[in-house]
Amino acid sequence: MRTLHKIRKDKNIIIKMYNDNVPTMDIAKKYNVVSTSICRHLKKWGVEVKRKPYQIRVKKMKRQKRNFSLELRAIMKENTRINNKYMKHCEFEHTTEDQRLITNIISRSIIG
């Protein structure tokens, strides 16, 4: 049976799960769809969808820290050391003319 037909068939079950405070992500995983599909169906069925404040949603979307192998970490550290040796950091006052010059430099190929 196709997923959308199954969602429509289990309408009452989905509404009950949602009213029992089961997160839409969990309901979506059960039906192998994205959570926005569940929210869309709930709205279509007349259920008031509870949205969290924007700040709370953004905080939960933090990226996972990547685990690199020891060899790769050593290579990255060495590359950073080499790059820092040759890079010079400078600060300058931003003006419109400066910004135009920087845009020109960036848009052209530096390496010939």
Give per-residue pLDDT as tens, 39-89: 889 989 998 887 765 555 555 555 667 788 899 999 989 988 888 777 766
Distance from C-alpha of 17 to C-alpha of 23, rounded to nearest angstrom: 8
**Cβ pair 34, 28 in contact under 8 A:** yes
Distance from C-alpha of 90 to C-alpha of 112, rounded to nearest angstrom: 24
pLDDT score, position 105: 76
Per DSSP, 108 falls in state: S
pLDDT score, position 25: 87
pLDDT score, position 103: 76
CA atoms within 13 A on the CB side of 17: 19
Sorted by where each begins, the domain ranges of the chain are: 3-51, 70-107
> What percentage of the chain has pLDDT greater than the value 90?
12
Q: Each residue of 52-64: b (16+ CB within 10 Å) or e?
A: eeeeeeeeeeeee
Mean pLDDT of the chain: 78
